[in-house]
């Protein structure tokens, strides 16, 4: 089932670092940021993870939980998380269930060959489990600030509605 902005995200369950289970209902009541990235320990993914790390306190203050998602296994994620001192958890989507559900698996050309890869994408899910915003095929510079701004806007809208 494809995800659609302004609709609830479909059911899913995944394992994250530190033995955390994440599902479509595990973070109801909180804003959820899921950022999909191609691979641990690559230049763009390292930069993106460090930018989320450096703004993490601002995300928490704005009521958001951040998870990074890639096809890497848990050992790779544990090493990547420790190396960069990431304060948030990483989801190991080794079977690509979440990647396909969120539609981030794309055909890419690398070194002249067609390969299946993850398109760098971020999804903002409201406290009610509704997908609020998505960024697809994004560039790293300035992206984390843009997501944080959207989280803060969403938080102020939720407060007004309460």
Is-catalytic flag, 99? no
Compute, in degrees rounded to 10, the torsion defined by CA atoms 13, 43, 77, 22: -20
Q: Which of 45, 101, 125, 148 is catalytic?
A: 45
Going 71 to 76 to 81 to 83, the CA torsion angle's sign is: negative
Neighbouring-strand partners of residue 22: 14
Q: Which residues are catalytic?
A: 45
């Amino acid at each position: 089932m494809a995800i659609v902005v302004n609709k609830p995200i479909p059911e899913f369950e995944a394992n994250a670092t530190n033995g955390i289970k994440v599902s479509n209902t595990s973070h109801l009541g909180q804003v959820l940021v899921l950022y999909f990235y191609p691979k641990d320990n690559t230049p763009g993914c390292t930069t993106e993870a460090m930018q989320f790390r450096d703004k993490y306190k601002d995300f928490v203050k704005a009521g958001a939980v951040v998870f990074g998602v890639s096809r890497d296994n848990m050992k790779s994620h544990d090493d990547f998380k420790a190396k960069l001192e990431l304060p948030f958890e990483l989801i190991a989507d080794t079977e690509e269930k979440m990647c396909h559900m969120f539609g981030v698996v794309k055909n890419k050309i690398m070194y002249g060959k067609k390969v299946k890869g993850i398109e760098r994408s971020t999804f903002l899910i409201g406290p009610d489990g509704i997908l609020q915003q998505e960024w697809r095929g994004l560039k790293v510079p300035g992206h984390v600030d843009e997501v944080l701004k959207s989280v803060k806007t969403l938080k102020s809208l939720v407060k007004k509605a309460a």
